[in-house]
Amino acid sequence: MSNTEERLKSNIDKARLIFLQEINERLPEALKSIDCIKGYGYDIQSIERLYKFTHTLRGSGETIGMFGISHPAAEMNVALKLIKNYGVKLEKGIIAFLDERLEEIVEEIGDNHSNNNLHFKISKSSNSKKKIYVIDDDATVTSLVSEVLTEQGFKVMAFHETKKAEKYIKIEQPDLIVLDIILSTEDEGIEFCRKIRSCECFKLIPIIFLTRKNELNDKLEGFANGADDYMGKPFQVEELAARVHSILNRLEIHQYLILRDELTQVYNRRYLEQRLPEEVAKAKRIGSIFSIAMIDIDFFKQINDEYGHATGDDVLQSFVELMNKSLRTSDVICRYGGDEFIVIFTDTPKAVANQVLERLRDEVAKRPVMLIKDKVSINITVSIGVAGFDEDGTSVDELILSADSALYNSKALGRNMVSLSKRESNNIV
Ligand code: GH3
Ligand code: MG
């Protein structure tokens, strides 16, 4: 091989390594997206994420000759484009097709990893913020479990007694607890489990018992007192890690489902009611600012009346799709109810939110909603009210009231309009 050929080969090898590293970092998000689609069907954000991911894989994979990755990525990419842009329905067959192609990609990456340690890396980034408490009086167990779970990206805290863990639990809630039963007493772990389960805010923390008590009756008692899983000692640490992943992944899907609006897949009112107080608290704590917008489709009832409720649903979905495209990923879109949405613009002053919303309003008005299956195109417009922290309110209620009053102004002044809140006119003292 000539020097030039050698240099070229080493450059391609380097590029392949960087490519694999990059995929590894983005793969957890892609896997999460496909899980969401599998579990819940059409979700524009997941489709967008998968589209971008497969687009990169397709292009870069081909360039560096990794066709085992670029071919399935190209197939996925085309299918996603048809779904995104050409109204092809996301049916079971297509979901299975996307899932199989992604699996091919995962397998191919696995084969390409010299240490064949892919799942380790996937876990690492997808679980990087999750906190796990390991409570066991045996230091060998806590150190082994901590080491393996830490390597997999979890933040682990080890305790040798439940009292200390109880103190911490009140300050920072863990995402999962691995709990021994026999500590200073025969059933300290059971007592601890019962105690935390009796408190409303800890009811949902997954608990895995890891114990020498391994008889059927012990297990039944563990489950009866609130365990999510039970493992006897001696144990394989890889199996424990697999159970931790499985429980947390399922919980994540569950949380996704309860905080999303069923029709449009954006966040629902329940999420808004959690998130908005957090934004207010953060803004007060660190002195930051943010804005909110209340957006309402004009004369939406007429669309239902004229074309039927199902078409009304399609219009709502198309409008959300447009919002997803026009707004930034940091903007939090929530369906407040019916044809009304609230968007939180984090770290954004009212004037900037106003510009973004003016663009959105203009795009909505200019682009009729094309409903291929109904063979109709429907013109819609939206009215918007904007309020900013802290000039229009320093509490959730004040901000919503301000945005609502501004929205009312837009409606009263003829609709298809963005209005900024003027706090004085809201009669807020
Ligand atoms: P305005 O310009 O004043 O906002 O008039 P509007 O007709 O949009 O206002 P209104 O709030 O009276 O109408 C909202 C309608 O949205 C009433 C309700 O039947 C309909 N709606 C609420 N939820 C859904 C839904 O999930 N799907 C469909 N298709 N319609 C819905
Ligand atoms: Mg309306």
What average pLDDT does the chain have?
88
Helix (H) or strand (E) holding 12: helix 3-40
**Interval 5-34 mean pLDDT:** 74
Predicted confidence (pLDDT) at residue 69 exceeds the cutoff of 80: yes
Q: Could you tell me the distance, in angstroms and rounded to a whole number, from the CA of residue 339 to the centre of ligand 1?
A: 5
More confident residue, 176 or 172: 176
| Residue nearest atom 22 in ligand 1 by C-alpha distance | 338
Tell me: pLDDT of 54 over 70. yes
User: Does the pLDDT at position 162 exceed 70?
Assistant: yes
Mutating to test ligand 1, I would choose from 304, 336, 361, 411 the residue with most ligand atoms within 8 A of its C-beta, which is 304
SS3 assignment, position 291? strand
Both structure tokens of 181 = 């039963």
Protein residue with least CA distance to atom 21, ligand 1: 338
68 contacts: CB under 8 Å, gap ≥ 6? 104, 108, 111
State residue 373's pLDDT score.
75
Nearest to 83 by CA among 48, 40, 32: 48
Residues within a 6 A CB radius of ligand 1: 263, 296-301, 304, 309, 312-313, 316, 338-339, 411, 415
Bigger pLDDT: 11 or 37? 37
Average pLDDT, stretch 222-228?
96
pLDDT attached to residue 379 = 96
Average pLDDT on 221-244 reads 95
How far is 397 from 402, CA to CA, in rounded Å? 9
- pLDDT, tens only, 73-106: 999 999 999 998 888 888 888 999 998 999 888 8
Region 258-268: mean pLDDT is 94
How far apart are the CA of 218 and the centre of ligand 1, in A? 55
Q: What pLDDT is attached to residue 175?
A: 95
The more confidently predicted of residues 211 and 201 is 211
CA distance 406 to 293: 9
Cis before 234 (ω within 30): yes
Q: Give the relative orientation of helices 44-63 and 67-85 as an angle to the nearest 10 degrees.
A: 150
Q: What is the mean pLDDT of residues 353-379?
A: 92
Residues at Cβ < 5 Å from ligand 2 ion = 296-297, 300, 339
Note the pLDDT of residue 10: 61
pLDDT in the model for residue 236: 92
Alpha-helical runs (H) found in 287-395 = 300-307, 309-326, 350-366
CA distance 148 to 154: 9
Q: Indicate whether 64 pLDDT > 90.
A: no
Query: Which pLDDT belongs to residue 427?
Result: 44
Residue 248 and residue 240 in contact, taking contact as beta carbons nearer than 8 Å: no
What does the pLDDT read at residue 426?
A: 45
Q: What confidence tier does 425 reach under pLDDT thresholds 50, 70, 90?
A: very low
Q: What is the pLDDT of residues 108-156, one digit of tens each?
A: 877 665 433 333 333 333 455 799 999 999 999 999 999 999 988 899 9
pLDDT of amino acid 199 = 87
pLDDT at 188 over 80: yes
Residues 77, 82, 84, 89: is their CA dihedral positive or negative? negative
- Quickly tell me which residue has 């640490």 as its tokens: 237
Over pLDDT 70: what percentage of the chain?
A: 91
> Residue 17: beta bridge partners?
none
Higher pLDDT, 141 or 16: 141
- Cα of 383 to ligand 2 centre, how many Å? 8
pLDDT in tens, 285-340: 888 999 999 999 999 999 999 999 999 999 999 999 999 999 988 899 999 999 99
> What pLDDT is recorded for position 239?
94
Pocket test for ligand 1, best of 260, 300, 409 (most atoms within 8 A of CB): 300
